[in-house]
């Protein structure tokens, strides 16, 4: 991030990556992660920033954590088989339809799914 970088809510999208029940069950500080994601979800809702939520292999890893599921009820989850959200056409279609270029990322498995998504978004020209 560069000095003076700001996010205009009219240009932003919140992407919540794979905060799922079975993943959360084995995470250190799971409640802290979920609470921080919930703060971002609630803040985005207040500011009118749309959210996209993803689920990695939901059949095996379960749905999005209940605490977030209710707050994200206006956004049905995008199921994905790959680590990066960008490799899922449905995710990219939903993101492109919003026509916003500033991405706020949060989620679980930061070292894999969140990181790979962030790197791919940067390659695609998103901030």
Clarify whether 8 is annotated catalytic: no
In this structure, the dihedral spanned by the alpha carbons of residues 63, 89, 16 and 23, taken in order and rounded to 10 degrees, is: 40
Clarify whether 127 is annotated catalytic: no
Clarify whether 80 is annotated catalytic: yes
| Options 18, 85, 86, 106, the catalytic residue | 18
| Options 8, 59, 80, 86, the catalytic residue | 80
| Options 37, 85, 106, 113, the catalytic residue | 113
What residues are annotated to the active site?
18, 80, 113
């Amino acid at each position: 991030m560069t000095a003076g970088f700001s996010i205009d809510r009219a240009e932003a999208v919140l992407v919540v990556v794979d905060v799922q029940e079975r993943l959360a069950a084995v995470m250190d500080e799971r409640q802290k992660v979920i609470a921080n994601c919930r703060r971002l979800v609630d803040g985005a809702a207040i500011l009118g920033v749309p959210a996209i939520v993803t689920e990695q292999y939901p059949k095996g890893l379960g749905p999005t954590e209940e605490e977030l599921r209710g707050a994200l009820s206006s956004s049905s989850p995008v199921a994905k088989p790959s680590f990066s959200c960008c490799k899922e056409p449905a995710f990219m279609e939903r993101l492109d339809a919003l026509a916003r270029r500033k991405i706020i990322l949060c989620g679980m498995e930061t070292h894999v799914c969140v990181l790979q998504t962030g790197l791919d978004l940067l390659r695609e020209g998103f901030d």
